[in-house]
Amino acid sequence: MGAKANSTRQAALQRSTVDSWLGTQPSPNTQAAYRSDLDAFGRWCTREGAVPLTADTATVVAFQVARAAAGDSDSTIRRRWSALSSFYEFALDRQLTSTNPTVGVVRPKVLAGDVSPTLELSAESVATARAAAAALDPRLDALVALIVSDGLKVVEALALDIGDVVSKRPATTITIRRRGEETRIVLDRETAKAVRRCIGARRSGPLFVSERSSPDGRQHRLTRFGADHLIRQLRNESAAAHVTANALRRFHINSRKLT
């Protein structure tokens, strides 16, 4: 009886977490696709005797292998990987799980000739988004600037500590980790200003911090879900309805091609 009651509670928690997470998604189409993905993963976990909310990396990998064997296309598997990653980041941010099991999982690569699902942003929409970011939150301002002007990936930006930022005239530099090596980047002048505003009076710790803190006052590093939540605010505040981290970085890459 105890095991059955626990199973019922787990199922209820899973459903409520999925519903809350889907409510953060930008459109009904995305919500429907992601719900289908989580339902498929949930059914597979049930057959395998696993609990979706506490699944480990091996379970996620086994699910990916099983779906590939069942004939799912690479694009479908990539979407399901993205859905699971976003879901676990949401659960992790709310302390409903201790890890994101999708971290380190290799998803299918985008093949040459594949149409990118990331919409292109115009220079005007990016300028509007940057102005909105500056008005909304110093963290959002710095994050958008690092992506658009300096080409950082979100995970690279979120991994930065205050100690990685060095402000010495005539330039401000940051040190990031790429492919296991340290890389020093000279920041765009406006990015440097945004990063300094983000740091404020702090002397140490993560560059990007969550709004929540530990009982002892210690600040947590901003998660990927938290960063996506910040960027999602730009869809309401700016004219660019499709502002995402991927779209912002694609704008940077395309801009570099034109110079």
| Inside any domain, residue 107 | no
Q: What is the pLDDT of residue 115?
A: 47
Residue-wise pLDDT for 144-184, tens only, equals 999 999 999 998 999 999 999 998 888 899 999 887 788 99
Residue-wise pLDDT for 72-127, tens only, equals 887 788 888 888 988 998 888 888 888 888 887 766 665 555 545 556 788 888 89
| Inside any domain, residue 112 | no
Residue-wise pLDDT for 209-238, tens only, equals 998 765 666 778 998 888 988 988 887 655
| Inside any domain, residue 216 | yes
Q: Which helix (H) or strand (E) holds 257?
A: helix 245-257
Q: How confident is the model at residue 257 (pLDDT cuts 50, 70, 90)?
A: low
Q: Which residue has the higher pLDDT, 2 or 190?
A: 190
CATH code of the domain in which 138 resides? 1.10.443.10
Q: Which residues contact 86 (CB under 8 A, 6 or more apart)?
A: 21, 34, 225, 228
| Inside any domain, residue 115 | no
- Among 49, 72, 93, give the residue marking a domain's end: 93
| Inside any domain, residue 101 | no
Asked whether residue 137 falls in the same domain as residue 49, the answer is no
Residue with tokens 């940051």: 174
Question: Which pTM value belongs to this model?
Answer: 0.62
Q: How confident is the model at residue 1 (pLDDT cuts 50, 70, 90)?
A: very low
User: Average pLDDT of 64-78?
Assistant: 84
Q: How far apart are CA 208 and CA 180, in angstroms?
A: 21
| Inside any domain, residue 248 | yes
Would you say 86 and 21 are in contact if contact means Cβ atoms under 8 Å apart? Answer: yes
Query: Number of folded domains in the chain?
Result: 2
Asked whether residue 66 falls in the same domain as residue 136, the answer is no
Q: What is the pLDDT of residue 217?
A: 64
**Angle at alpha carbon of residue 179, lines to 156 and 63, rounded to 5°:** 80
Asked whether residue 135 falls in the same domain as residue 249, the answer is yes
Q: What is the pLDDT of residue 246?
A: 82
Asked whether residue 16 falls in the same domain as residue 76, the answer is yes
Asked whether residue 129 falls in the same domain as residue 88, the answer is no
Residue-wise pLDDT for 8-23, tens only, equals 787 788 889 989 998 8
| Inside any domain, residue 137 | yes
* Host domain of residue 130: 123-257
